[in-house]
Amino acid sequence: MSDVRQPALAVEGLTTEFRIEGRWHAAIRDVSFSVARNETLALVGESGCGKSITALSIMGLVPKANGRIAAGRVLLEGRDLTELDEAEMETVRGRAISMIFQEPMTSLNPVLSIGFQVEETLRYHTSLSNREARERALALLEHVKIPSAARRFDDYPHHFSGGMRQRVMIAMALACSPQIILADEPTTALDVTIQAQVLALLAELKAETGMAMIFITHNLGIVASIADRVAVMYAGDIIETASVEALFDHPMHPYTEALLSSIPRVDRDAGELKPIAGQVPPITAMPAGCRYADRCPLRVARCATMPPLVPLAGDRAHQVRCWVRAGDGGQTP
């Protein structure tokens, strides 16, 4: 029996690199976090911050032709996934840990029925007979609220709307009752109404099963409705972690503040939105110090060196990577 005090997933010092023009460059560096059973951790940041690379590294899906995990561990209930070969990882993916991808139309096979694709996961990872797998697949589609699931079981992905296709992906991810689900921007391609339905469904399923979830998004506006804790990423580094309440009430890193200021709100005029100037630096030209310094209004001389991720004095669960906000006032070393 597993230790209930042990996190469902723990990422420790994870560094993933890609070879570009003959040299290795880190896309994520020394990333560490954990997620407990029945908890949702949101990984937040704009495009290019390393969120999806983190998820692919956890799943062992970094392309080996030009990518590698250079350091760190990924502990799934104490088992280091980085030490497993591909055959061993194939027994883990879909069974112990599953992933919901951003665009279901490119993830689902267009020439196979949706029922068959849900069944396939069950047939690969379990000893269910064909009849039992079909019954279980149908039950899963009904569980994720596919209307007339029995009648639509043999329909193809193009017969479904974007929201219904995403529900099929959720059913596939849940098929083998995994301990943890990685949801990589699962609502990005959906309209606001369907997005809210999918978020509510994920929250409901998490509460029912007690699974852990890592929810990856660039949109802080939906984080409060789905997450328990938040880890903000920028240019391959985790720069702030906190509970949802603490992050929204007291954002500490200037980048987190900028993200929150760029969210449209009903109690604020559209003219008050503040876009973030500049862009995330490419992995081939990362600055030596704080990666956000060139865009930061608070930068000081000390930002030329990389700040550590440290807990705040008044809230040890709230960590920030910033010399000005968590250091000694930004004085030069």
For the cut 90, the answer to whether the pLDDT of residue 26 exceeds it is yes
pTM for the whole structure: 0.89
* Chain position carrying tokens 């596939």: 172
Rounded to whole angstroms, how far apart are CA atoms 271 and 139? Answer: 48
Task: Say if residues 10 and 212 touch (Cβ distance below 8 Å).
Answer: no
217 residue type, one letter = T
> Could you read off the pLDDT of 119-173 as tens digits, one per residue?
998 998 898 999 999 999 999 999 999 999 999 999 999 999 988 998 999 999 9
For 235-288, what is each residue's pLDDT tens digit? 999 999 999 999 999 999 999 999 988 776 655 565 666 778 888 999 999 999
Query: Beta-carbon neighbour count of residue 58 at 10 Å?
Result: 24
DSSP sequence for 102-124: S-HHHHS-TTS-HHHHHHHHHHH
Domains along the sequence of the chain with CATH: 9-96+179-278 (3.40.50.300), 107-177 (no CATH)
Kindly report, residue by residue over 48-80, the tens digit of the pLDDT: 899 999 999 999 999 999 999 999 999 998 899
Closest CA to 148 of 182, 117, 114: 114
CA distance 18 to 26: 6
Q: What is the model's pLDDT at position 251? A: 95
Cβ–Cβ < 8 Å for 188, 163? no
Sheet containing 67-76: give its strands across.
23-35, 9-20, 67-76, 79-80
User: Count of alpha carbons within 13 Å of 259, Cβ hemisphere only?
Assistant: 28
Which one is predicted more confidently, 43 or 177? Answer: 43
Residue 43's pLDDT band (boundaries 50, 70, 90)? very high
Highest mean pLDDT among 190-204, 299-313, 319-333: 299-313
- Mean pLDDT (the chain) is 90
pLDDT at 2: 47
